A and B are shown apart, each in its own frame.
Chain A
Amino acid sequence: GIQVEQSPPDLILQEGANSTLRCNFSDSVNNLQWFHQNPWGQLINLFYIPSGTKQNGRLSATTVATERYSLLYISSSQTTDSGVYFCAVGNTGGFKTIFGAGTRLFVKA
């Protein structure tokens, strides 16, 4: 099955800093999403981005499907950005979602 690797596993930032999170996947996908899991366990949908680039405020994401990776950019980080960021992919016709292990982000005030 598809393998999903996220890097880095852990990240500590000073408030105001920028960061890039990466998601590599091992096979073609027709579905890719980025989520933020808050301390209460809720998964917040950030981007649905099987290809191309999207931006939403301080966050943006780029997926290069042909090279099998996606990037999540966080600019001017805030303490409320802390949490775990997951990349999840789905393969064509499989109707199965595979999650990466996540990147745990801590933003210091």
Chain B
Amino acid sequence: KAGVTQTPRYLIKTRGQQVTLSCSPISGHRSVSWYQQTPGQGLQFLFEYFSETQRNKGNFPGRFSGRQFSNSRSEMNVSTLELGDSALYLCASSLQGSRYFGPGTRLTVT
């Protein structure tokens, strides 16, 4: 089976812009979760989706949003980008509790 894929892999944006990141889970996995990794804060949970429903959300401002489609693919959106949003954004798909991560999208905000 193909692993979790994320696009794009690298992204450079300017403050105030918005960005959309995409994640395609492993075939058959219906749960997708998103994480932000920064040197200062480590790996932080953003949100988790299952069958197009958000099941939980981390402690992030409303500028961070996500959705899941009927084919389990997921997108996350960050609006009004700030310098502090520069990070590695990781997506994971899971089956029976075990999470499998994609390679991540490295976002740089200038």
Contact = CB atoms under 8 A, between A and B. Distances in A.
Interface of A: 30-31, 33, 35, 40-45, 48, 50, 86, 88, 90, 94-99, 101-102
Contacts of A101: 42
Contacts of A94: 56
Nearest to B33: A97
A3 B56 CA distance: 17
Interface string B34-48: 010100001111001
A31 B37 CA distance: 20
Interface residues of B, number: 23
B25 to A, nearest CB: 14
A101 B33 CA distance: 19
Interface of B: 33, 35, 37, 42-45, 48, 50, 55-56, 58, 88, 90, 92, 97-101, 103-104, 106
Contacts of B48: 95-97
A95 B98 contact: no
A42 B104 contact: yes
